[in-house]
Amino acid sequence: MTISPSTLVPGIIAASDAATVTMAEPVARFSLRAHAAERETVGGALGLDLPTQVGHVAGDEIEALCLGPDEWLIVAPEGLAERIARTEIDAAHSLTEITDRELTFRIDGPRATELLTTGWPRDPDSIAPGQGRRTYFDGASVIVWRDGPEEWRMDVWRSFAPHVVSLLATGCAELVAG
C-alpha cells in the first residue's frame, strides 16, 4: 500500500481488526538541551520536573520526554507554543521549536504492539506504558511513546512519514489476512 504525502491529513490512515493508524492533530514541539547543573532551573521556569532517566516522561498538559542525558523533547497543545517559546529562563540552555519537523501518528488496537514489530528491531516490552524512546523504525529515526499497553504514538520526521505509514498500513492489512 502506498501513502502519498497529500493523503497525510489528520484522521484515520489505515484500520483493520488488528490495529488502527491515525494521524494526530498538530501539536507544538520543542527540543530542549541543558546540562545537569542547569536542569532544575530550566525545568522550573517551564513548570516541569525534567526527568533524568532516558525514556521517562514528566508533565501533563506539557509533556517532557528525556531523550538523552542532556536532551528533552517537549510536546504541548498547539496554543501554548508561543508561551513556551517566550519563557524567560535564567540558565544556559537551548530551546528550539521543532513543531513542523515531525508528524504524529497514533497506533492502537488489540495488536498495535505486534504491528510495530514489522519495522522495529527493538523489544517493545522494554518500554513500559507511560514511557517513550527515540529509536529506529525501518530506516527512519522516530520517537515512540507508549501511552498504554496497546496504545502508541509515533513522531516521524515529515519526509519519512509516507514511507513509515505505508509499512504500517500494509501491516494493518497483513495482520488480519491470516
Partner 1 sequence: MLLIHCPYCGETLPELEFAYAGEAHVVRPDPSTASDEQWRDFLFIRSNAKGPHAERWRHIHGCGRFFNAVRDTVSDRFLATYPAGTPRPDLSLSEDER
Question: Which triple of cell numbers denotes residue 131?
Answer: 514511557
User: Applying CB under 8 A, which part among 67-75, 77-85, 147-155, 162-170 lies near partner 1?
Assistant: 67-75
Least Cα distance to 125 among 107, 152, 160 occurs for 152
DSSP 8-state code for residue 26: P
Per-residue x/- track, 15-54, partner 1 (CB under 8 A) = --------------------------------------xx
Among 104, 113, 131, 135, binds partner 1 (CB under 8 A): 135
User: Applying CB under 8 A, which part among 10-18, 68-76, 100-108, 109-117 lies near partner 1?
Assistant: 68-76
Question: Which triple of cell numbers denotes residue 10?
Answer: 489528520
Q: Nearer to partner 1 by C-beta: 104 or 135?
A: 135
Q: Nearer to partner 1 by C-beta: 72 or 105?
A: 72
What are the distances in angstroms from CA 52 to CA 34, 64, 69, 161? 11, 11, 7, 29
For 78, list phi and psi in degrees, rounded to 5.
-55, -35
Q: Nearer to partner 1 by C-beta: 77 or 139?
A: 139
Count of residues engaged in binding partner 1, rule: CB under 8 A: 15
Site for partner 1 in 74-133 (CB under 8 A): 121-122, 126, 133
List beta partners, residue 31: 73, 96
Q: Which secondary-structure segment (H or E) carries 177?
A: helix 161-177
Position 95: which residue type? L
Residues near partner 1, by CB under 8 A: 53-55, 67-69, 71, 121-122, 126, 133-136, 141
